[in-house]
Amino acid sequence: MKNPIFELSAPILALPRIAKRLLVLSVDMGLCIVTLWLAYYLRLGEFISIAGQSEWASGAVWASATAIAIALPIFIVSGLYRAIFRYSGWPALLTVARAVAIYGLLYACIFTAVGVSGVPRTVGIIQPILLLLLVGASRALARMWLGDEYTSILKRSSRPKALIYGAGSTGRQLAAAMTNSLEIQVAGFVDDDDRLHGHVLNGQPIYNPADIETLVETLQINDVLLAMPSLSRQRRNEILSQVRRARVAVRTLPSMNDLAQGKVSVSDLRELDIDDLLGREPVAPNHILLTKNILGKVVLVTGAGGSIGSELCRQIAVVRPSKLLLIEQSEFALYSIQQELEEKMSNSETELVPLLASVQDPDRMREIMSTWHPDTVYHAAAYKHVPLVEHNPAAGIKNNVMGTLHAAQAAAENGVSDFVLISTDKAVRPTNVMGASKRLAEMVLQALAPIKTDTKFCMVRFGNVLGSSGSVVPKFRQQIRDGGPITLTHPDVTRYFMTIPEAAQLVIQAGAMAKGGDVFVLDMGQPVKIIDLAKRMVELSGLTVKDAQHPDGDISINVTGLRPGEKLFEELLIGDNPKTTIHPCIMKAHEEFIAWEALEDKLSALEVALNVNDVGVIRLMMKQLVQGYAPSDDIVDWVYLEQEDEALKLGLSGT
């Protein structure tokens, strides 16, 4: 039970600032009188009555009045009454000592040096010393008595308030962990069980979820913390939809697997997972397919430091191949994924081999393949950013097409059993160089499959992955943190989305089903309008979208216009005849391609044009090779535009 003396601190601290200053002023006035009384006792050896008729009593009245008249103005000027309950330690004592020293000098001059009838001269020295001790002690006692309560009030008043959604064991653990948190103050629980509504759990009320909007306003809630890690995705999405309307930030706990240690801490709270924003239920992986091409085998991943490549490496490492070869042309990216995997695989028998290499170097690819003879190759190396490849088309095609060709030929020559290309929905009826180059890379593998029968070539085509480098989700999240605006190229832009871990798992499983030349298409669910995703992210951050209907909103959305080669809508199939597979999220497409005998010569001619950066010829050849390729813009290659500019300037200067 709390000490009654300490319970008195709250009403005192609740007083207005002026009242608290007057209270402390009165205490110091009393201390001036008490210390003078004690000074007389120490000098005379007996207590005197200040209200008496003796000579000493008359002198004491004048000495007391003088002490108050000198001390209080000095204390006021010295700042002793500005923030008394926040003072602690040496700074406070030095302030008191300085003020009392000035007071003592003046007081001693009057009653010791000059002298006053009825006041012993030693009182002019003893009283300031006693006053220093008692004033200092009063500050120390005030800090001990009121300081902790004052700090507690400050913390409670400044901490944002939160409701915990879920009054189960996880919610209770989270509330307990947040008891002394300086970050968030728990204001109560919200739970779906109507039997709990109106009850109190660990001192916190349990509310009805239907009242969230009202609670946010009345209790001044800043955050809703989802403490239901085992919740189904469908119910989770329903809750998020409900909370969005309350305009409050949402944070969540990881899954039960991540909380397997049995304790929940404040540090476990995090921003919503990307798949929470996606709103789709991931399909459990088929472990037979996951292990078929990996377990105990030599596996090679190109582009191992990229978004998809690095996640493939993480997923592969879990399945325990005998060797995992990491090919990456970026030294930093290779170092990063190597360090991460080595830490995670410290107790694994898998040998990790980081290799600096470019897939555009056929000799280096043959050297690597002939040294380790991998069983399975996952080819994730690619330039994938649409505007960058549009402005650098020759570099993009060299990497995406010729790099795929060199890696595939090296694989076939060295007995690779399975070769899986990571492709994209932008390869379907492409309007940009990146998409066209990926479709041509698919065609290379389709053409090689019938003549390189010892190696099963296949490709896996899917849409955007959330959270990858350049993805809209991390970009939007940062723009929201910066206070906006969110930049969007077009209000009607629609994309298919999938999380990186889900995409990587499905790539591995699709590759395990390949028979040669297969084009696998992942079921991406329903397409998402990018503007809807942006609005959802704003609302789940506890903010509002600023637009014509809501001019006082927090985050505006600016439309910047479509970038070169960008499409409004993406497709996954060229034809309309997908076939089902044994996996519910993987389909097989039938796509037309050019036989290797004809394609080989065309690729050689294309390579010549790439080497001299003849953008016009490159563009024309890509249109001839890739069915449905319809460039939507003029040539925007930076080198071509600069050379055109220079030629124009020379022509003008010549005239």
Under a CB-based contact definition with an 8 Å cutoff, are residues 134 and 34 in contact?
A: yes
pLDDT in the model for residue 259: 44
Q: Which CATH code fits 287-465+497-524+571-625?
A: 3.40.50.720
The DSSP secondary structure of 420-459, one letter per residue, reads EEEEEGGGSS-SSHHHHHHHHHHHHHHHHTTT-TTSEEEE
pLDDT in the model for residue 458: 95
Whether the pLDDT of residue 244 is over 70: the answer is yes
pLDDT in the model for residue 55: 64
Whether the pLDDT of residue 116 is over 70: the answer is yes
pLDDT digits (tens, 9 = 90+) for 559-599: 888 777 677 776 655 556 778 889 888 889 888 899 999 99
Same CATH fold assignment for domains 161-272 and 287-465+497-524+571-625:
yes
**Catalytic, out of 426, 438, 456, 588:** 426
Query: What are the C-alpha distances in Å from 277 to residues 130, 362, 379, 528, 539?
Result: 68, 42, 29, 11, 11
pLDDT band for 346, please (50, 70, 90 cuts): confident
pLDDT digits (tens, 9 = 90+) for 287-335: 899 999 999 999 999 999 998 999 999 999 999 999 999 999 999 999 9
**In percent, how much of the chain has pLDDT > 70?**
82
The DSSP secondary structure of 72-124, one letter per residue, reads HHHHHHHTTTSSGGG--SHHHHHHHHHHHHHHHHHHHIIIIII-BTTB-TTHH
Query: What are the C-alpha distances in Å from 481 to residues 62, 179, 543, 601?
Result: 66, 27, 11, 52
**Catalytic status, residue 297:** no
pLDDT in the model for residue 409: 97
pLDDT in the model for residue 136: 80
pLDDT in the model for residue 161: 83
pLDDT in the model for residue 260: 40
Q: Mean pLDDT lowest for which of 205-209, 459-463, 544-548?
A: 544-548
CATH topology of domain 161-272: Rossmann fold (3.40.50)
Whether the pLDDT of residue 86 is over 50: the answer is no
Q: What is the 3-state secondary structure (H, E, C) of 613-647?
A: CCHHHHHHHHHHHCCCCCCCCCCCCHHHHHHHHHH
pLDDT digits (tens, 9 = 90+) for 183-193: 678 888 988 88
Domain locations in the chain as residue ranges:
4-158, 161-272, 287-465+497-524+571-625
Q: Which residues pair with 421 in a beta bridge?
A: 379, 459
Q: Mean pLDDT lowest for which of 71-80, 194-203, 223-232, 462-471?
A: 462-471
